[in-house]
Structure 1
Amino acid sequence: MSKRYDEDFKDWVVLQMMPPLNRSVAELAGTLNLLPKSLRAWRQMARDKGSIVPGNGKTSYQWSSADKFNAVMETAPLSEVEISQYCRIKGIYPEQIQEWRVMCQNANTVVDLDPNGVKSAEQRRIKVLERKLLKSDAGLAEAVALLELRKKANAIWGEDKEE
């Protein structure tokens, strides 16, 4: 028969897995004589409620993108003082929140550079093809304009007759 734990105890255990303590599931399970499966389930329930629970000894630099995004969302309406207090509780720095905010804001921008800061061969090829397409479009427009001009000239002066 399994033992039932109250919500306060579960919340306390989840807090142990959060920064700054960052206690791992294995460590807590051994210390508290609980099943790791239960701890993982409680951690997931806390995440489902919207809490940021990286867990398993992860430092803030190892947090998942979802946890970083949640931290940005939780701190968005806060003042600078409130953000500092939030960061102390979570074991992170306000600069990290700012860095993550910028990363979130730039998440959908297209980067034309490879990781080394150089345009890839495919990107260069695309640029060359785009330039050729623009030139051919301009040439086509010029040819159409000349044909129209010829039609108008023929309408005014009649057909060209070779002598």
Structure 2
Amino acid sequence: MDEEGFQAALEQQRERSREAGGMDREVFRSLGEAVVELQTTLAPSEFVGYERLSVEQAQVLAIIASGELVDFVRAGQEADVVLDVTPFYAESGGQVGDTGTLRGPQGLCAVKDTRRLSSLILHHVLVAEGSLAVGETVEARVDAERRFDIMRN
């Protein structure tokens, strides 16, 4: 067994873990106090991304824009969205988060990044068309080509 190689790989994994742990703190700072309320009131996000790359009926549980909980966002706005169930892999252990789309009855959002904060999965979106509101049911679809490209590397 290559002891030197093993130790180097072990140290790389430790570094990735430290970076991932820092992500929670970074996400927390960017979202402000709104996230404290979410962590105590919402059930954990259900991740189904190992089984499928889309969910036809995911409910929007919360939207955070500019550090505040809001009821809706409109075209051109960016926000972090919490769904009850998601196929989106959150950034972790050195692997980047998924991108894709959320399509609801009133609009379309581009998911630019996916991050985890404790038990919640946050989808950072840009509302491309229409609007997105808390309580709506959306289709959540991962950019499959990008996910597979990342998995290969």
Same fold (TM over 0.5): no
Structure with the greater relative contact order (CA < 8 A, sep ≥ 6): 1 or 2? Answer: 2
Query: In proportion to residue count, which structure has more strand?
Result: 2
TM-score, reference length from structure 2: 0.24
Normalising by the residue count of structure 1, what TM-score does the alignment of the two structures yield? 0.23
Flag the structure with larger Rg: 1
Structure with greater helix share of residues: 1
